[in-house]
Amino acid sequence: MEAQPQLDIDFVRSQFPGLDHGWVFFDNAGGSQILKRAVERINTFLYDKNVQIGGSYDVSQQAAKALMDSRIAAMHLVNASRPEEIVFGSSTTVLLQNLARSMRSQLSAGDEIIVTISDHESNIGPWDGLRDMGVVIKFWPLDTTTYELDISELTPLLTEKTKLVCVTHVSNILGAINPIAEIAEVVHAHGARICVDAVAYAPHRAVDVQAMDVDYYVFSFYKTFGPHYAMMYGKYEHLLELDPLYHFFYGRDKVPGKLEPGNPNYELAYAVTGIVDYLCELGTKAGSKGSPRELILAAFEAITIQENALTERLLSYLRSRNDCRIIGETANRNGRRIPTISFVFEGRNSEDICKAMDAYKIAIRFGDFHARRLGDHVGLPQYNGAVRVSMVHYNTIGEVDRLIAALDDILADHKRGAA
* Together in a domain, 105 and 90: yes
Tally of structural domains, the chain: 2
DSSP state letters, 319-384: HH-TTEEEES-SS-GGG-B-SEEEEEETT--HHHHHHHHHTTTEE-EEE-TT-HHHHHHTT-GGGT
The answer to whether residue 415 sits within a structural domain is no
Q: Indicate the pTM of the whole model.
A: 0.96
Cis peptide before 256 (omega within 30 of 0): yes
Cα–chain-centroid distance for residue 304? 15
Please state whether beta strands 340-345 and 324-327 pair in parallel, antiparallel, or not at all (unpaired).
antiparallel
Residue 227 lies in domain: 38-276
Tell me how far apart the alpha carbons of residues 214 and 188 are, in angstroms, rounded to a whole number. 9
349-386 residue pLDDT tens: 999 999 999 999 999 999 988 889 888 888 888 888 99
Question: What CATH number should be reported for the domain holding residue 165?
Answer: 3.40.640.10
The b/e string for 144-168 (b: 16+ C-beta within 10 A; e otherwise) is: eeebbbeeeebeeebeeebbbbbbb
Answer yes or no: is pLDDT of 144 > 80: yes
The answer to whether residue 137 sits within a structural domain is yes
Residue 35 CB neighbours (<10 A):
24
Q: What is the pLDDT of residue 377?
A: 85
* Together in a domain, 47 and 93: yes
Q: What is the pLDDT of residue 3?
A: 56
Tell me how far apart the alpha carbons of residues 265 and 90 are, in angstroms, rounded to a whole number. 8
Tell me how far apart the alpha carbons of residues 23 and 402 are, in angstroms, rounded to a whole number. 11
Q: What is the mean pLDDT of residues 4-8?
A: 80
Phi and psi at 177, nearest 5°, equal: -80, 125
Instruction: Evaluate whether 26 touches 403 at the Cβ level (below 8 Å).
Output: yes
Q: Which of 224, 251, 276 is the last residue of a domain?
A: 276
Answer yes or no: is pLDDT of 6 > 90: no
* Together in a domain, 51 and 114: yes
* Together in a domain, 382 and 242: no
In single-letter form, the type of residue at position 247 comes to: H
